[in-house]
Chains A and B, each alone.
Chain A
């Protein structure tokens, strides 16, 4: 069974810093990997999707990389802003579109 882990569990940075969130998964036979944002008490917002054949995806200040063979993905956030404060989840689907979620990284950007 796929297991997804995220490090660190919590992160606090001053505004303007660049930061990296880490995600690892045990079964490298994935179709894609997705990064989500979850605000407190809210649902999920899809940030980036990386197909298994891709190495990275970029959207604005976000860049996600994927190293399938080593079972790792990173989410890079450039020039962090207080509005980036949220929990970030990575997830990988199985063949049936059922998702295995990471444990999440709670990010706080201090003004």
Chain B
């Protein structure tokens, strides 16, 4: 079964509103989680690294004030898209490495549509 759960799987919101996406590690503690974004017909690109108990680190070109990341516990990271615009419409997916394992575990992804 899934070891990383992401919610919601699909969300439609109005321009200007904020949307929160959750990523949970189900049977292990994850001090680090990763958020990726995928534009249509493009590959996944790393947006930011979520660090439990400290600030997230963002990749170049990703606005930290727009994509708020909170990693308040060892099993939960949240990505909040603030003041969403239609160009934020995309597929967002999280990943969490399980300690001691090389295999990557990904959430189911969230399809965000901003209208």
Contact = CB atoms under 8 A, between A and B. Distances in A.
A46 B109 contact: no
A36 to B, nearest CB: 8
Given A41-B111, A103-B43, A104-B43, A96 B49 contact: yes
Interface in A85-99: 89, 91, 93, 96-99
Interface string A16-48: 000000000000000110101000011110100
Interface string B46-76: 1001000000000000000000000000000
A80 to B, nearest CB: 22
Interface string B17-61: 000000000000000101010000011111001000000000000
A44 B107 CA distance: 8
- Most chain A CB within 10 A, of B36, B43, B109, is at B43
A97 B32 contact: yes
A75 to B, nearest CB: 15
B108 interface: yes
Contacts of B103: 34, 46, 49
A43 B104 contact: no
10 contacts: A32-B102, A43-B93, A43-B106, A43-B109, A44-B106, A46-B105, A97-B95, A97-B97, A97-B104, A101-B43
